[in-house]
Copies of this chain bind each other. A is one copy, B any other.
């Protein structure tokens, strides 16, 4: 169920790849939350009003695959999982700041 993203072929532009990495109903908000520091799964869910566990898990996994966030699992009962931005994820700041500024003009 992976490793074959583009099925009907088209030249993939790096800008498009980047765009997809931050596209998604909750990614910008997850990124924003993690920008303020390491967060546990439950904390994120409480902060992101309305998100379901499924969507949170899904968006987090995609961001992890893209190398934007890091997932740290603590093997204990009850489970504890912490999420944080990777250096690459933090490097999105100027881009998202610029988008934020651009967005205010729309």
User: Which residues of A approach B to under 8 Å, CB–CB?
Assistant: 10, 13-19, 21-23, 28-29, 32, 49-50, 66-67, 88, 91-92, 94-96, 98-106
Contacts and interface: CB of A to CB of B under 8 A. Distances in A.
A88 B28 CA distance: 22
Contact of A28 (B15, B66, B101): B15
Q: Interface majority SS on A: helix, strand, loop or mixed?
A: helix
B28 A103 contact: no
A66 B18 contact: no
Given A23-B19, A23-B23, A14 B104 contact: yes
Contacts of A95: 95, 98-99, 102
B102 A18 contact: yes
